Amino acid sequence: MTQARMISLPKQGEAVDGILPVSQTRPITVFSAWWRIWCMSCLQTKGVQALVQTKIPSNICARKGHSVQQVACHIMEQYCEQGYMLSLDWSKCFDTLAIGPM
């Protein structure tokens, strides 16, 4: 659990003659599966759950039992009622990676 690996995923259509500059890649850090297990078990503890419920307002993050659609609807309702909005970068949220030759 003391090591991670950084890999660079190529951006689609950025290679020229099979050469891809590092600046045209997306760096992603990959940890051991044990990190995910450990983090998920920590997030399930009563202490962390209480911290989330008491310290983080519900309009900042999705809660257990609420879908992303419900949170998005809540944001739109707040905009209609109170006149404020935030920006969501949907273009990066659903980014894709093409597997195959560059």
* 3-state DSSP of the chain: CCCEEEEEEECCCCCECCECCHHHEEEEEEECHHHHHHHHHHHCCHHHHHHHHHHCCCCCCCCCCCCHHHHHHHHHHHHHHHCCCCCCCHHHHCCCCCCCCC
Q: Is the pLDDT of residue 93 over 70?
A: no
Q: What is the domain partition of the chain in residue ranges?
A: 1-44
Q: Model confidence over 23-78: pLDDT tens digits?
A: 888 888 888 888 888 888 888 899 988 887 888 776 666 666 677 777 778 778 87
pLDDT mean over 71-94: 70
pTM over 0.75: no
pLDDT at 23: 81
pLDDT at 60: 66
